[in-house]
């Protein structure tokens, strides 16, 4: 397997259709029900959306902000189906953590998303807790990673 160079660049409004397509192609029902196109557009306009590049080709995106108790928060990460399982998402998460303004980064995933749980473990995230009631029968699992970024004292 060729190791690709993974990088991030801030998404612009010109990237909206690309990011929306990545999400829609992954799960059409969830995309529509959760109004993801609106979420993606808002993240791009708020400079909170980053395009994931593998050898300078767009393969996904990540939404990252500081709304979770003023700490780094990975809201959503999408990697195109054909590029999954190659470590691209994990490298993108590492890059996001490196640029975080806080010394902790949090994220969450459903208990049914075993692939994401494994990926988070591989990049040094620790289990933080579980919340029931968000998705019926599929608890949300929260994870965090302590970074070397000492810009704030959270």
User: Rg for the chain (alpha carbons), in Å?
Assistant: 15
152 found inside a domain: no
Confidence band, pLDDT 50/70/90 cuts, at residue 154: very low
66 found inside a domain: yes
154 found inside a domain: no
Any idea what the Cα angle at residue 118 is, between residues 24 and 120, rounded to 5°? 80
Q: What is the CATH number of the domain that holds 118?
A: 3.40.630.30
28 found inside a domain: yes
88 found inside a domain: yes
The beta strand positions in 30-148, using DSSP E, are 49-54, 57-68, 71-79, 104-110, 126-131, 140-146
1 found inside a domain: no
Domain that holds residue 15: 6-146
How do residues 2-56 score in pLDDT, each as one tens digit?
568 999 999 999 999 999 999 999 888 888 888 999 999 999 999 999 999 999 9
CA distance linking residue 139 with residue 101, whole number of Å? 29
- The percentage of the chain sitting over the pLDDT mark of 70, rounded to a whole number, equals 94
61 found inside a domain: yes
Q: What is the pLDDT of residue 153?
A: 45
């Amino acid at each position: 397997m060729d190791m690709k160079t993974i990088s991030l660049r801030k998404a612009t409004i010109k990237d909206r259709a690309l990011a929306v397509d990545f999400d829609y192609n992954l799960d059409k029902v969830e995309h529509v029900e959760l109004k993801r196109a609106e979420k993606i557009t808002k993240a791009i306009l708020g400079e909170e959306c980053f395009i994931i590049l593998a050898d300078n080709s767009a393969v996904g995106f990540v939404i990252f902000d500081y709304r979770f108790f003023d700490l780094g928060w990975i809201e959503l990460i999408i990697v195109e189906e054909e590029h999954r399982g190659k470590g691209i998402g994990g490298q993108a998460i590492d890059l996001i953590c490196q640029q975080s303004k806080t010394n902790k980064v949090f994220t969450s995933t459903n208990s049914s998303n075993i692939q994401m749980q494994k990926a988070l473990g591989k990049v040094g995230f620790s289990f933080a807790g579980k919340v029931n009631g968000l998705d019926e029968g599929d608890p949300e699992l929260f994870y965090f990673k302590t970074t070397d970024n000492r810009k704030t004292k959270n």
